[in-house]
Chain A
Amino acid sequence: MLETRPAIAWLEVHTENYMGGGKPIAYLEAIRDLYPISLHGVGLSLGSAEDLDAAHLERIRQTAERVEPAFVSEHLSWSLVDRRYLAHLLPLPMTEEALVIVCRHVDQTQAYLRRQILVENPSTYLRWRHSTIPEWEFLAAVADRTGSGILCDVNNIYVSAANHGWDPGTYLAALPPAAIGEIHLAGHSVRALEDGRILRIDDHGSRVIPEVWQLYAEALTRFGAVPTLIEWDTDIPELGVLLDEADRAAALLEEIHGADRDADAA
């Protein structure tokens, strides 16, 4: 990247991959001088019933101090219970109890980092019986109560909607446009289960499908020119394929909103 300097607007990395010292963070600091960076965390576990892991939050703070990111984001999910980390973005029950807990943890995180964070909607493969709040209302309430932004993952909306029979348009319409700070796009896979039924699995390992591009166009119309990232972190293709996907997102952005150099695609 430092040598070829591809024509992209900004970059996103997983916060957890840059918590150590040595070369990775040194390279990221060098790249940061050329491109804005977004720190995308997978481990803070905003939805855990227990307290946030203070050591992990401090690692995020230290990484952010060195990288000076444009955005810091986490997920509407949980992965920590009794101080054991389950290495997955696990689905929350959409209950008032969970909403209060998520909001408390978002408040604490924003206070500790002294900045707004973005909260991303997850892909889910199950729903809990005792959920009472639609996920889109839950996410909008988190943004409303905490002042957080929303990282709207259009592919995740498509995947979850397909898995649970939701209307993706209803989901988009429920999100407050002013809170949308970033959009994610990605490919996903379709897994056939033993009985022939299918689940869509968010694996970031292929091109964005046409239905998700369509939903992205709707999102841009509704939310404005929002910085957009293509996530592709398994079976990573040639850089040219990635740039091609990013160009396509940039073209849609420009088509719908005209040239806007602050909200380009990466």
Chain B
Amino acid sequence: MPTLLELQRTVYRGLVAGEGGPCAAHVVADGIGGEARLKVYRNTFIGNLTTALRLACPAIHRLVGAPFFESAARLFIKEQPPQSAWLDEYGVGFAEFLTGFAPAASLPYLPGVARLEWAVNTALHAIDAAPLELSSFVAVAAADHGHIAFVPHPSVGLVAADHPIDAIWRAVLSPDDAAMTAIDLAAGPVWLMVERNANGVEVLRLSEPEWRFMSDLCASRPLQEAIDVVPEIDAASLLAGHLAAGRFIRFALP
């Protein structure tokens, strides 16, 4: 007789790896065999997670079509089953998985679109957090300003890609079939910031130095270091804009 843990590990192998035999041996056959009964659970397990991925990645789903998406999802689910029951979080590794997925190699922009979609998904479901009040800087001595390390709002994400993935993403999700053909895939790289604000989720284009500056700030790099990397931009007014838009929720001093 298996312990509960042993049984649950056996079920895991049955559902995730498709090794149903050892698990079926513990099932009352009773007219319908153990493997057939387990299949009901396995189909729902894969179906539920495929649905979760499709909801998180509607543009990828449309770009590659349902059969391709479902076979990619099936492999991804086997390789990276979810680590928590909050399925809004599920799919964090899907873009990277697609990068290495041979059948997707003919669509070089696909992993980029998947990374953007993941950032949009993250922004959509991120927990609420109160933005940093400007008054909290009053107590910081001017000499310490350069050491400030910011914590971004959980909805803020930064994505860079060699293709105009934001235009592709919008076109694919638009009901207008002609939108996709109007896209110039050779239009060059894009530097994107994703956030959730009062209007919903927005995807904004930044210049490369603006993007680098914001990336460093979001990585909690000290303010002066972030400024020194991109001397060509007006860091003070950019930072003021980010703060006014509520893109940071805390800061720390060393």
Chain A residues engaging chain B, CB cutoff 8 angstroms: 16, 19-23, 25, 42-45, 47-50, 53, 55-56, 59, 78-88, 90, 92-93, 95, 97-98, 101, 125-130, 164-165, 191, 193-195, 197, 199, 201
B30 interfacial contact with A, CB 8 Å: yes
- Considering the chains assembled together, what is the distance between the CA atoms of A10 and B49 in angstroms? 29
CB-CB under 8 A from A165, the residues of chain B are 30
Task: Type the 1/0 row for B164-193, where 1 means its CB is closer than 8 Å to any CB of A.
Answer: 000000000000000000000000000000
Asked if A197 meets B84 with Cβ closer than 8 Å, knowing A25-B128, A86-B12, the reply is: no
CB-CB under 8 A from A84, the residues of chain B are 12, 16, 81-83
Asked if A22 meets B5 with Cβ closer than 8 Å, knowing A80-B85, A201-B40, the reply is: no
Asked if A85 meets B82 with Cβ closer than 8 Å, knowing A16-B87, A48-B8, A98-B4, the reply is: yes
Task: Check B2 against A88 for contact (C-beta < 8 Å).
Answer: no
Closest B residue to A165 using CB positions: B30
CB-CB under 8 A from B27, the residues of chain A are 126-129
CB-CB under 8 A from B31, the residues of chain A are 197
Asked if A88 meets B41 with Cβ closer than 8 Å, knowing A81-B11, A126-B34, A193-B36, the reply is: yes
CB-CB under 8 A from B196, the residues of chain A are 21-22
Closest B residue to A193 using CB positions: B36
Task: Check A49 against B86 for contact (C-beta < 8 Å).
Answer: no
> A44, A79, A85, A93 — which one has the most chain B CB atoms within 10 A of its CB?
A85
- The contact sample of 20 A-B pairs, CB cut-off 8 A, is A16-B86, A19-B125, A22-B196, A23-B200, A43-B84, A43-B85, A53-B84, A81-B12, A84-B12, A84-B16, A85-B82, A86-B45, A88-B15, A95-B4, A97-B4, A126-B37, A127-B28, A128-B26, A129-B27, A193-B32
Task: Check B48 against A88 for contact (C-beta < 8 Å).
Answer: yes
Chain B contributes a number of interface residues (CB within 8 A of A) equal to 47
- Considering the chains assembled together, what is the distance between the CA atoms of A25 and B1 in angstroms? 45
- Having A21-B126, A81-B8, A193-B36, one finds 12 other A-B pairs with CB under 8 Å, namely A20-B126, A21-B125, A21-B196, A22-B128, A53-B84, A81-B9, A86-B81, A87-B48, A87-B85, A126-B37, A129-B26, A129-B28
CB-CB under 8 A from A164, the residues of chain B are 30
Asked if A50 meets B81 with Cβ closer than 8 Å, knowing A88-B41, A90-B41, the reply is: no
Task: Check A78 against B200 for contact (C-beta < 8 Å).
Answer: no
Task: Check A85 against B85 for contact (C-beta < 8 Å).
Answer: yes
CB-CB under 8 A from B44, the residues of chain A are 87-88
Chain B residues engaging chain A, CB cutoff 8 angstroms: 1-5, 7-9, 11-12, 15-16, 26-28, 30-32, 34, 36-38, 40-41, 44-45, 48-49, 52, 81-88, 124-129, 154-155, 196, 200
CB-CB under 8 A from A45, the residues of chain B are 85
Which residue of the partner chain, among A22, A82, A191, A197, contacts B12 with CB atoms under 8 Å? A82
Closest A residue to B44 using CB positions: A88
CB-CB under 8 A from A25, the residues of chain B are 128
- Considering the chains assembled together, what is the distance between the CA atoms of A199 and B12 in angstroms? 22
In the complex, how many angstroms separate the beta carbon of B75 from the nearest chain A beta carbon? 16
CB-CB under 8 A from A47, the residues of chain B are 4
In the complex, how many angstroms separate the beta carbon of B49 from the nearest chain A beta carbon? 5
Question: Which 3 A/B pairs are nearest by Cβ-Cβ distance?
Answer: A43-B85, A21-B128, A20-B125
Task: Check B85 against A16 for contact (C-beta < 8 Å).
Answer: yes
Task: Check B85 against A53 for contact (C-beta < 8 Å).
Answer: yes
Task: Check B40 against A199 for contact (C-beta < 8 Å).
Answer: yes
Task: Check B83 against A88 for contact (C-beta < 8 Å).
Answer: no
CB-CB under 8 A from B9, the residues of chain A are 81-82
Task: Check B5 against A49 for contact (C-beta < 8 Å).
Answer: yes
Closest A residue to B24 using CB positions: A126
Task: Check A130 against B1 for contact (C-beta < 8 Å).
Answer: yes
- Considering the chains assembled together, what is the distance between the CA atoms of A191 and B41 in angstroms? 13
Closest A residue to B124 using CB positions: A22
Task: Check A22 against B126 for contact (C-beta < 8 Å).
Answer: yes
- Considering the chains assembled together, what is the distance between the CA atoms of A86 and B41 in angstroms? 10
- Considering the chains assembled together, what is the distance between the CA atoms of A9 and B26 in angstroms? 44
Closest B residue to A128 using CB positions: B26
Closest A residue to B28 using CB positions: A127
CB-CB under 8 A from B26, the residues of chain A are 93, 128-130
CB-CB under 8 A from A56, the residues of chain B are 84-86
Which residue of the partner chain, among A79, A81, A125, contacts B40 with CB atoms under 8 Å? A125
- Considering the chains assembled together, what is the distance between the CA atoms of A126 and B2 in angstroms? 16
- Considering the chains assembled together, what is the distance between the CA atoms of A195 and B39 in angstroms? 14
Task: Check A85 against B32 for contact (C-beta < 8 Å).
Answer: no
- Considering the chains assembled together, what is the distance between the CA atoms of A44 and B85 in angstroms? 7
CB-CB under 8 A from B32, the residues of chain A are 193, 195, 197, 199
Closest A residue to B6 using CB positions: A49
Closest B residue to A17 using CB positions: B88
